[in-house]
């Protein structure tokens, strides 16, 4: 059986590759200028990052700084509905001080045209991620 990857699935895969390699220029080119990333929980990284610059220079930069560059994400799967939504599942790993975290999570994407306009993040254990990232 031949597998034909939907363009939205390919977009999400390229986004994960760009994130993993630290290529924020490419990642930014895949987002609308008003893209919003919604981060669950009550930690210092939780909240709504509105606008491509806030997503890249705010949230993603903070993840790198707080983890000392140790954050990595392994993509497990991408699923699309063909109507502008894609869902990705992954496992993420990071270290912070004397602590480490390894957890499953996912991102739910809204795609407008050929760009990501909204990202809703989900994690397996919000309490644990809040504890790991801290309150600042």
> Per the domain annotation, does 2 fall within a domain?
no
As beta bridge partners, residue 48 has 38
pLDDT digits (tens, 9 = 90+) for 40-99: 999 999 999 999 999 999 999 999 999 999 999 999 999 999 999 999 999 999 999 999
pLDDT at 1 over 50: no
pLDDT tens figures, 102-120: 999 999 999 999 999 999 9
8 or 3, which is more confident: 8
**Residue 70's CATH number:** 3.10.450.50
Counting runs of H as helices and runs of E as strands, what totals does the chain give? 5, 6
Rounded Cα–Cα distance for residues 4 and 136 (Å) = 45
Residue 114 lies in a domain: yes
The DSSP letter of residue 45 is T
Indicate if the pLDDT at residue 22 is higher than 70: yes
Provide the pLDDT confidence category of residue 4 given band limits of 50, 70 and 90.
confident
Instruction: Write down the pTM of the prediction.
Output: 0.94
Query: CB-based contacts of 75: which residues, under 8 Å, 6+ apart?
Result: 13, 16, 88, 89, 90
Residues of the domain holding 110: 7-133
Output the pLDDT for position 135.
86
- Cβ neighbours, 10 Å, residue 50: 14
Q: How many domains does the chain have?
A: 1
């Amino acid at each position: 059986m031949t597998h034909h990857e939907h363009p939205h699935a390919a977009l999400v895969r390229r986004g994960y590759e760009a994130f993993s390699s630290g290529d924020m220029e490419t990642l930014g080119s895949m987002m609308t200028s008003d893209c919003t990333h919604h981060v669950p929980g009550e930690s210092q990284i939780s909240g709504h990052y509105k606008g491509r610059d806030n997503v890249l220079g705010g949230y993603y930069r903070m993840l790198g700084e707080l983890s000392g560059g140790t954050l990595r994400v392994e993509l497990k799967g991408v699923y699309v509905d063909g109507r502008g939504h894609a869902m990705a599942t992954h496992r993420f790993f990071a270290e912070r001080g004397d602590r480490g975290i390894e957890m499953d999570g996912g991102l739910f994407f809204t795609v407008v045209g050929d760009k990501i306009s909204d990202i809703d993040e989900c994690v397996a254990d919000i309490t644990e991620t809040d504890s790991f990232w801290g309150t600042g």
